[in-house]
Amino acid sequence: MSDQYTVEKPVPVMPTYNRFPVTLTKGLGSYVWDEQEKKYLDFTSGIATCNLGHRPPEVQKAISEQLDKLWHCSNLYHIPSQTALAEKLVAHSCGDQVFFCNSGAEANEAAIKIARRYAQKVKNNDKFEIVTFKQSFHGRTLATLSATGQEKIQEGFSPAMPGFRYLPYNDQAALEDLIAPETCAVMLELVQGEGGVIPADDAWVKELVRQCQEQEVLIIIDEIQTGMGRTGTLFAYEQYDFEPDIITIAKGLGSGFPIGAMIAKEDVAKAFAPGTHGSTFGGNPLATTAGLRTLELLMTPDALTKWNETSAYLWGKLEELAERSDKIKQVRGKGFLIGLEVDCPAIELVTEAREEHQLLILVAGPNVVRILPPLTTTKEEVDQALAILTNIF
Ligand SMILES: Cc1ncc(COP(=O)(O)O)c(C=O)c1O
């Protein structure tokens, strides 16, 4: 077995990623092909991004048609697909207004900015602090790495941006310190993705929400990995009994076309007036066309119900496998965001799956294998993956 991160040929791209020794050149549905035409079953979905599989034909058609009309015009003009996508996001969420950008980190930047500005310009107080959680992941820009509760992500970039405080996740007792006099918002993932696929406990979320609502502190839910159907509902917050003030999304919104968005309730959205925030590319005609068609497909009646049947089937089989295999300590997550806690380095299993069985899966921390199939994956593809996983475990 080769080293999982072999660099085969040096390229003039900054080495910010550990890349697997594979070059992918084509994708369709649940499969990708490398430059030697070797076919892989892709249960990573480009890290929770290609939720409808690779190159969903309806999204491809919509982008192709838009390519013949207008690619970019800036936000100095109205953009029909941007308006339509905003209307659809608002119709399917508890939010009222949308800001478009190009990535998850940018969506969280926008959330951090609007939370502070809401405190300072709408509520007229001097609150600024945003509470986040240990092992969270909110992005790689300076503000979002400062929001991220992981020292390794912040290392070498000090000083981190001030104004963040980190509490342990799922820790009921720690909620005693949730809100300080300067706290304007609390920001969290409802399943910590990069941090090890850890779902938030219902009772913990309930108490967190109770305190925030009582003390008028904004709740920002980072749905960048959990959103767009990944956990079984369009947004993960729908599975908890509350409405966030701010939701951030990216990844699955554009089926692989780069796009991010920050959705806010009306009162909060007032904090952004012309000139307070912006992005040249944010919400451009091509990106919002991809997003609009993707969202229409995700919201097709019965689509999520059908995909949830496939994920329930996968969960059942993985739980059976966990009972038989000493290697798997726990199966956790929600919907098609699944973590297997294992008793060995997860990367070894990921490497074996790829090199010996042409199955692409991921890690989420040293001892967690992360499985992110497209929502559209079929039962036959699930069986194919299960046969491989059974072999490995
Ligand atoms: C929960 C969460 N937030 C934010 C981000 C950052 O998104 P992006 O890489 O698009 O900036 C990610 C990316 O993995 C994520 O999983």
Encode pLDDT of 316-359 as tens digits: 999 999 999 999 999 999 999 999 999 999 999 999 999 999 99
Indicate whether 342 and 228 sit together in one domain: no
Q: The CATH number of the domain where 359 resides is what?
A: 3.90.1150.10
Handedness of CA 292, 260, 134, 350 (dihedral sign): positive
- Residue that is last in its domain, among 249, 270, 298: 298
**The one-letter amino acid at 216:** E
What pLDDT does 1 receive?
45
Q: Annotated binding residues for pyridoxal 5'-phosphate, as ranges?
A: 104-105, 137, 222-225, 280
Q: Give dist(CA 313, CA 253) in Å, integer.
A: 25
Task: Give, using CA atoms, the residue closest to atom 9 of ligand 1.
Answer: 104
Indicate whether 334 and 351 sit together in one domain: yes
Average pLDDT for residues 154-164, to the nearest whole number? Answer: 98
- Residue that is last in its domain, among 298, 325, 360: 298
- The pair of structure tokens assigned to 300 is 């097709």
Q: The CATH number of the domain where 245 resides is what?
A: 3.40.640.10
Cβ(138) – ligand 1 distance below 6 Å: yes
pLDDT at residue 208 above 50? yes
What pLDDT does 2 receive?
45
Is residue 167 within 8 A of residue 177, CB to CB? The reply is: yes
- Residue that is last in its domain, among 281, 298, 315: 298
Cβ(109) – ligand 1 distance below 6 Å: no
DSSP annotation of 242 reads -
Show the domain range for 197.
Answer: 58-298
Cβ(254) – ligand 1 distance below 6 Å: no
- Please report whether residue 13 resides in a domain: no
What pLDDT does 298 receive?
98
Percent of the chain with pLDDT over 90: 97
Indicate whether 339 and 253 sit together in one domain: no
Total count of domains within the chain: 2
Buried/exposed code over 181-202 (b: 16+ C-beta within 10 A; e: otherwise): eebbbbbbbbbbbbbbbbbbee
- Please report whether residue 47 resides in a domain: no
Strand spans (E) along the chain: 24-28, 31-34, 39-42, 97-101, 129-133, 164-167, 183-188, 191-192, 198-199, 218-222, 246-249, 260-264, 328-334, 337-342, 359-360, 362-363, 368-371
- In 3D, which of 100, 74, 136 has the Cα closest to residue 264? 100
Indicate whether 312 and 286 sit together in one domain: no
Residue 316 Cα to chain centre, angstroms = 24
